Amino acid sequence: MVHKNQDDDDEHELVMEKRVIELQQWIKTQPQFPQNISSKLLRRFLHTTRGDASASQRLLELNYTLRNKHAHIFIDRDPMDASSQQLLQVADLIPLPGLTPENNKLLFYRLIDFDADKFNFTAGIKVFFMVADCRFATENDGRLSDGEIPIFDMAGYTLRHLTKTVLSSLRCYMKFVQEAHPVRLKEIHVINCPSYLDKVLTVVKPFIKSEVFKLIHFHLPNADTPYKHFPQSMMPEEYGGNAGKMSDLKNQWMQLLKEQRDYLSDPLNWQLNKVSKKFGQSKKYNEIIPSLKTLEID
């Protein structure tokens, strides 16, 4: 006997498949887009907008427009180049396995080499988005997570690291993740907060929308308060969890980045057709941003 929830899942999948095909047909009428966007990636855009075709189209337009506006971050990139590899020796940017009971994905970020002279802020932003694009390209075809919960471990982060902040890269990062990233932010956790957190916030808070700032939870060093929000068991072994060792988790993602190198590095996958002047010069584009302000926030 098929349970009702299985029937609902099957119906959801059929509807999603139909809307992916419709979105593919729409892209064929939009020559400015790359014409090889995968059905898996289109599904993610539709999932983020809860199947709203018009909202998915606007989100796609803004996503690719910002990528092309900041080509040095989103297009001119290679996960195996020297700056990316050095960044990956300095920091961990790891999507953790599994989903929370609320069906959310945990994403974990931390420094592993505390030498500020080795820290390249813009390279960190580039690698962040390469990991995200790699994940979107390789995630299972099953039901996607309802939301995303980034966890930032500030252990080892110093005021010298703060001086490495490139404001133009920070502005690009904040704008993209808040307005153009095909995810739904549920919560943001900052753990092992330093005593000078106020100085860090002075730099980053002007770029954070008020509705997003309300999602941020700050936690003192060695506090167990984060686990009121998500299971500790989902954390790496180093944090008392059962997700495995950070080194093993990282090796898996390093391998995935290597396997997806051609996809991530090929400009044809990300560039807009410059012959078309549709994006960025029309009133429609200027209306995209306000229409998406609450898209990722539940």
- What span, in angstroms and rounded, lies between the C-alpha atoms of 62 and 90? 31
Are 148 and 188 spatial neighbours (Cβ–Cβ below 8 Å)?
no
Q: Are residues 153 and 241 in the same domain?
A: yes
Q: For residue 283, tell me if it sits in a domain.
A: no
Q: What angle do CA 42, 151, 218 make, to 5 degrees?
A: 130
For the entire predicted model, the pTM comes to 0.88
How many C-beta atoms lie closer than 10 Å to residue 262's C-beta?
9
Q: Are residues 182 and 219 in the same domain?
A: yes
More confidently predicted of 176 and 282: 176
DSSP 283: H
Q: Name residues whose C-beta falls within 8 Å of residue 150's C-beta, 6 or more positions apart in sequence.
A: 107, 109, 185, 188, 189
Task: Assign 288 a pLDDT band (cuts: 50, 70, 90).
Answer: very low
- What span, in angstroms and rounded, lies between the C-alpha atoms of 27 and 45? 13
Tokens of 158: 């110093």
Q: Are residues 121 and 243 in the same domain?
A: yes
Are 249 and 241 spatial neighbours (Cβ–Cβ below 8 Å)?
no
Q: Domain end: 46, 71, 96, which one?
A: 71
pLDDT at 283: 38
Q: Are residues 23 and 119 in the same domain?
A: no
Q: Where are the beta strands (DSSP E) in 34-155?
A: 91-95, 104-111, 147-153
Residue that has been written with the tokens 């999603």 in this structure? 16
Are 192 and 153 spatial neighbours (Cβ–Cβ below 8 Å)?
yes
pLDDT at 146: 92
Q: Are residues 42 and 168 in the same domain?
A: no
Q: Are residues 248 and 121 in the same domain?
A: yes
Q: Are residues 64 and 86 in the same domain?
A: no
At 110 the three-state DSSP class reads strand
Q: What are the pLDDT digits (tens) for 1-39?
A: 445 466 566 676 788 899 999 999 999 999 999 999 999
Q: Name residues whose C-beta falls within 8 Å of residue 268's C-beta, 6 or more positions apart in sequence.
A: 34, 36
Domain count, the chain: 2
Task: Assign 287 a pLDDT band (cuts: 50, 70, 90).
Answer: very low
Is pLDDT at 280 greater than 70 in this prediction? no
Q: Where are the beta strands (DSSP E) in the chain?
A: 91-95, 104-111, 147-153, 188-191, 216-218
- What span, in angstroms and rounded, lies between the C-alpha atoms of 295 and 184? 8
Q: Any idea which of 4-13, 110-119, 147-156, 256-265 has the lowest mean pLDDT?
A: 4-13
Helices 121-138 and 82-90, packing angle to 10 deg: 90
Q: Are residues 186 and 144 in the same domain?
A: yes
Q: For residue 297, tell me if it sits in a domain.
A: no
Q: How many CA atoms lie within 13 A of 89 on its CB side?
A: 11
- The range of the structural domain enclosing residue 174 comes to 82-262
pLDDT at 6: 62
Percent pLDDT > 90 in the chain is 84
Q: What angle do CA 115, 175, 191 make, to 5 degrees?
A: 45
Q: Taking residues 96-119, what's their average pLDDT?
A: 96
CATH number at residue 175: 3.40.525.10
Q: For residue 109, tell me if it sits in a domain.
A: yes
Q: For residue 272, tell me if it sits in a domain.
A: no
